[in-house]
Structure formats: C-alpha cells, structure tokens
Amino acid sequence: MAMSRWFTLVVGALIVLLSLLPAPVAAQWADVTDQRLADPDKEPQNWLTYYRSYSGWRYSPLAQITPLNVKRLTPKWMLSLGEAGNQQATPLVNNGIIIVTSPLGQEINRVYAVDGATGRVLWKHETKLPEDLSGLVKILSMNRGAALYGDRVYFGTLDARVVALSAKTGAVVWQRTVADYKDGYFFTAAPLAADGKIIIGTSGPGEMGNRGFVTALSADSGAELWRTYTIPEAGEPGVDTWAGESWKHGGGAVWLTPTYDAQQKVVYVGVGNPAPWDANLRKGANLYTNSVLALDANSGKVKWYRQYHPNDTWDLDTPHEHLLLTITRGGQPLGVTFQPQKTGFYFTLDRSTGKFIAAKKFARNVNIWSDVDAETGKLIEVPGMRPAAGAPPMNICPAIFGARNWAHASYNPKTGLVFLPGMELCNKYSIAKEIEYKRGALYIGADFTAYAPGDQAGVVRAIDPVNQKTVWEWWTLAPLQAGGTVATAGGLVFVGTQDGRLVALNAANGKQAWEFFLGAPVTSPPITFGIGGKQYVAAITGGGKVTGDLLVGDDPKLQYLKSLPVGGTLTVFGLFE
C-alpha cells in the first residue's frame, strides 16, 4: 500500500511539473510580403521562395550545423507524399510551416501544409486532372514547388492551370486556365511571386511543338497581366531566324523558376531548346531558344536577350537559373548573371545590358564545341558534330542531359564560390528520317542512349566565377541529375544523389563530412530551415523513368541504379541531442 501511495505521489508530481513547462509554440502563418521576399536574410530560419532568394543562390545564413558536428545529424521525422517517383519539389518554410507539392501520377496535383517541427499535416489540397493528358506530361508528371505571397499558396498544374489556395486552410481562392493542355502545355515549375504578380513559364514546348511563353497573373485575382512568348510570330523581331513557318511549332520551354532583380524590376528567364530536335527542319538561329530573356516585370517586354548557341540539334538548352552576382571589374562593382549550362560552359553577362563578360568550359567531356570566342562569347562548334537524319548514331558529349541538368547550383557569398552538381555523360545519338507535328504528341525525332565515358559520372564542382577556376571537385559514381545543392553559412554544402544519399560536403575543400542513405533517389534539391533556434535539413526522395532508365542507358556500371526503389518521402533531419 505504501509503495502504491508513493508511486501515485511521484506520478502526480511529474504531471504538475510537466504542466508548468512551456507548451510547444504552434506554427503561425505570417503573410509573405514583397519586403520579406526581397530581404530573406533577415529571416534566416525561413525559406520563402524557390531559390530562397530572388538571386537564385540557394544559400542559408544558418550556421548551427557545421563540419565539426554534422555527424550528429539524424532523421527527426518523415512524411509519405503519397506518390512513388516524380518527386522534385523544393519545400518552402514560413514560420515553421512547410509547404510542399506532390503529384499523384497524371491524376492529381497535391499541396501539403506541414508542421515543420513534428511532421503533422495541417491540411492537404488535391486538384483532379483530366484523364486525356498526353505526350511529355505523362513522362514528366512532377511538380517543382509552390510560391508564397500574402496569405496564399500558388502552384501550377499538369493541365496548364494556376491555382491560388488559402495558406491557412488549403481552400481554393481562385484558379485560372492559362493554356490548352491538349496542345501539350503544362506547368511543372514553381511560380515566382513578386510585386503583386505570379509569374510562371510553360513546360515542354521543345518536345511538344508548341510556342513557349512566360505569363504574369494578378496575385489577387488571377487575371492575366502580360504574356511574353519565347518564340516570335510573323511580323515580330526574330521571326526571320526561323525557316518558313517553323516558328509555329518552335518550342522554347521555360522549365524553371526565373531569378529576379527586385530593385531594377527585371525577370531573368532561361529559355529551352527548339522543336523538333532535327535542326535541318528549322534552319536559322531560332530565336529566342537557348537564350536568356531579361523581361520588364511590369510589362513583360524584352529589355535585352542573349542567345548562347543557335540552331540547337542536341537538346543542350539553357533553361537553368541565372545566378545574380556582383563582381569587381575595372575597380567598380558590376551586377552580372552567371549561368553554368548543359553545354559544359558557364557564362557571365552584364545584368543590365546582356553584354558578354566571360565564359569558360568546366566539364571534362565536351566534343561539340572546342572553346568559346573570348571577344564575342560565341561557342566554337566542332565541324562534323551535327547529326544527319537517318545517319548512323554518333557519339556526342555532353549527353542530352547535359554537363549539368536541372539539379540546382548554390552560391555562398562569404566564400564567393558556386557549388554546381553535374554529370559526365555522353550519348549514342541519332536523328529520325521523318518527323511530323501532331497536336498533343511528342515532336522530338531523335533517339539516344546514355553512357559514362569515365569511372564516375557525378560531380559537385566548387567554381570561382570571378577568377573562372574550379577550386575543388567531389566525385561519385551516379550522375547528379536532379538532387541539387544548398550552401550554408556553417561551411557545408548538402547535395542529394541519384543512388539515394543525402551528403554533406565541407565547403572549404569538398571533402565528404556526412551522408545518410535514404533508400531511393534524392531527386529534389535539399533545403535547410530553423524552428525554435534549431537548424533542420529537409530532403525528398523520388525517381522515375527520366531520372532512372533514360539516365542510365545501357552503361553496365550504372545498371545498379535501376534496382533502386523509387521514393516519395519528405525526411527532415536535425542534430542528435
């Protein structure tokens, strides 16, 4: 009896003590303003937009996790996103609330709001898709993320709609059909939110034979404010760079979220490849494919453009982020864009004019271009590297996936280094004898098989963009096609790999400091965020045909990747205590 009474007293005392502890602070939504988006470093704990900053850096000022303690990093919670494969979203974080998108095949676009401390789902939104989606969207049925603005969450759908949700409930506020999905239009990119606008570009035109475009919608109502096509039509400047009426099916996708100069109100858009892939069917430079467009954010008008290489016939396009950097030139600061490309070269341009500043090859395996002209910035093409329709396959390097693909680079302003995930792959490549445009069908006309010419196909490079040199490299067998990097003030670079690992590298020397095997390809760029004074790292597993079979090809040393299960899980890591 005495023991029972003692036990009751102890339990009662513990209950009293626990009741006196402060209750966990519930995540509270705070409206996302232009000021917050333009100055993200005032809120190092948050990740409010796709690249975290308008400048595209994917850099976090958080420094709690370092090379000295990263080995204590351990999973804190996991969330199934309800779909195996095709997971490529960047999670966003606002005051402890994670917003993450996820597809359900070609049937549903999903958005989750999650408590970042516990993994508890706060709400889930699902929007049903038409049953007659066709062409490329059935292969690339992913979503790369959302945009936050005010008290709303915005995302694009696989049937070419933009949807605005209440950030607090997930209820639909408005939705707008932007294009006809039966023409092959769809959205996979995360929108850009800025100055009352939701800006998004179309996925797929380079493979579906439609004309790519960028559009700005009113964040408040969804009304279209402007639309800028990436392919000029009859009577517009640049249409003479297309033979005949080939412009009508010219391509020019905007696969990824643009970067943005909030002071100058300029949107920097990377434009994809022309269609079809056989350049003989569209002779000319084919503006504005494989270009950067600097658009006036208020009107959508082209302020300047630069085409990196004309009349592409290898799918080595330039849709990637243009990092907005400031370098010293002639003793004066100069705002520039810096873009490492699928071509295996990186380019630096004057951010105000598009004037060529510098370029250099960073990849090992490039046989299409020998160099870049130091005066004009034009890639010097190697004779005989253009495939002819019906001819035997030829070996081209880089492969169509590029010396880098959509896996994002990051930039650490403290060290001045860009951390670029890349690949060293080549293709056996051929052009079909005949290709004909059909509405809603693939308009490619090429065949390819990938292989790695060396022992290792994946690499992270630390690049000094000012002095144009590679400072260090970290190599791995599997190509780094989709995982991306994030750089931190703690001196780390996190990268996800195709063979299922989340890896931390020492930013100073590229040495591996930690890894965790997630059991499926990491096909989403990792992020880092803070809650309650603690730093966390988040990564998403995925996989699928493009990031699996097509990437592996028939290379014997890469076949092991085909046996890796596809994933569909968001995992959040924190330091073990």
CA 537 to chain centre: 18
Residue 514 CA to residue 301 CA, distance in Å, equals 46
| Cα–Cα–Cα angle for 90, 93, 98, rounded to 5 degrees | 80
151 given a catalytic annotation: no
Determine the residue type at 342.
Answer: K
Extract long-range pairs of 550-556: CB within 8 Å, 24+ residues apart.
Answer: 550/450, 551/401, 551/425, 551/450, 551/479, 551/481, 551/498, 552/450, 553/427, 553/449, 553/450, 553/451, 554/449, 554/451, 555/450, 555/451, 555/452
What order of strands is seen across the sheet that includes strand 492-496?
59-60, 485-488, 492-496, 501-506, 512-517
Q: What HEC string does 42-98 produce?
A: HCCCCECCCCCCCCCCCEECCCCCCCCCHHHEEEEEEEECCCCCCCCCCCEEECCEE
3-state secondary structure of 379: strand
Pairing state between β 426-431 and 291-296: unpaired
Tokens encoding 303: 């302020």
Determine the residue type at 331.
Answer: G
Run of H or E including 152: strand 152-156
3-state secondary structure of 122: strand
Tokens encoding 356: 């060529």
| Residue in 315, 317, 499, 555 annotated catalytic | 315
CA 380 to chain centre: 28
Residue 298 CA to residue 122 CA, distance in Å, equals 35
Cα pseudo-dihedral 462, 465, 469, 471, rounded to 10: -30
Asked if residues 139 and 546 have their Cβ atoms less than 8 Å apart, the reply is yes
- For tokens 């493979």, the residue is 207
Q: What is the CA radius of gyration of the chain?
A: 24
Residue 247 CA to residue 244 CA, distance in Å, equals 8
Residue 9 CA to residue 18 CA, distance in Å, equals 14
Asked if residues 480 and 409 have their Cβ atoms less than 8 Å apart, the reply is no
Pairing state between β 192-194 and 92-94: unpaired
Q: Tell me, what DSSP letter sits at residue 220?
A: T
Please list the active-site residues.
315
